[in-house]
């Protein structure tokens, strides 16, 4: 491929700028009380030495995996649903379910199971009124386009000035959730007084 137009019109640059603009606008509209509640739940789990189970399907699962890794670097007992070494979840543990639509059956079923044993369920979703949102003890609303809501997505893109599908399917939610959760990690670093050197010491030292 040899693009001959201006740099601003290059499809990669154009998509990156639109996604960045969306995330910036999302940072201005998120409910900080919800965010602080999530941080407090995580800090309590850290102090009580409770387990954190992060769950998500598809690309949301990859976002969750990255978040769980950073929690591990901070000293949390964090796990990812689906891994073979995940221990049993019990009362007092925390399950963080990431789903843009809040309707992904696998995640909904897992969240229901966590709730049944007394774990605190946190939903990271664009739809607080979804089945996952209604089940959760805490909903953290992360704006983003979900695969299942084309009409709503159309109006959201119009408001943001996005007139083309530059971010297909659930990309806007997944990218926004990833950046948001990285922000949560930074907040936890400050609250726990953990520096980058301490995190690096917990990073895998045997890698392929």
3-state secondary structure the chain: CCCCCCHHHCHHHHHHHHHHHHHHHHHHHCCHHHHHHHHHHHHHHHHCCCEEEEEECHHHHHHHHHHHHHHHHHCCEEEECCCCCCCCCCCCCEEEEECCCCCCHHHHHHHHHHHHCCCEEEEEECCCCCHHHHHCCEEEECCCCCCCCHHHHHHHHHHHCCCCCCCCCCHHHHHHHHHHHHHHHHHHHHHHCCCHHHHHHHCCCCCC
Higher-confidence position of 96 and 9: 96
Residues 112-131 have pLDDT tens digits of 999 999 999 999 999 999 99
Domains belonging to the chain, first-starting first, are: 32-193 (3.40.50.10490)
Residue 56 pLDDT exceeds 60: yes
| The pLDDT value given to residue 179 | 97
> Residue 166 has what pLDDT?
60
User: Of the residues 28, 174, 191, 197, which is catalytic?
Assistant: 174
The answer to whether residue 198 is catalytic is: no
Q: What percentage of the chain has pLDDT greater than the value 70?
A: 84
């Amino acid at each position: 491929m040899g693009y001959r137009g201006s740099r601003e019109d290059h499809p990669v640059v154009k998509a990156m700028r639109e996604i960045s603009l969306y995330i910036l606008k999302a940072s201005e509209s998120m409910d900080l009380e919800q965010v602080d509640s999530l941080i407090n739940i995580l800090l309590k789990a850290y102090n009580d030495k409770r387990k954190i189970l992060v769950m998500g399907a598809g690309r949301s699962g990859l976002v969750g995996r990255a978040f769980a890794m950073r929690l591990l670097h901070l000293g949390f007992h964090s796990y990812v649903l689906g891994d073979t070494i995940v221990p049993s979840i019990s009362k007092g543990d925390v399950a963080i379910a990431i789903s843009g639509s809040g309707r992904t059956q696998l995640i909904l079923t897992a969240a229901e199971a966590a709730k049944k044993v007394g774990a605190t369920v946190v939903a990271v979703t664009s739809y607080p009124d979804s089945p996952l949102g209604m089940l959760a003890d805490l909903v953290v609303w992360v704006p983003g386009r979900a695969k299942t809501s084309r009409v709503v997505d159309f109006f959201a893109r119009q408001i943001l000035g996005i007139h083309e599908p530059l971010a297909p399917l659930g990309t806007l939610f997944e990218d926004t959730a990833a950046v948001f959760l990285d922000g949560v990690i930074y907040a936890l670093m400050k609250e726990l007084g953990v520096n980058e050197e301490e995190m690096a010491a917990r990073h895998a030292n045997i890698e392929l």
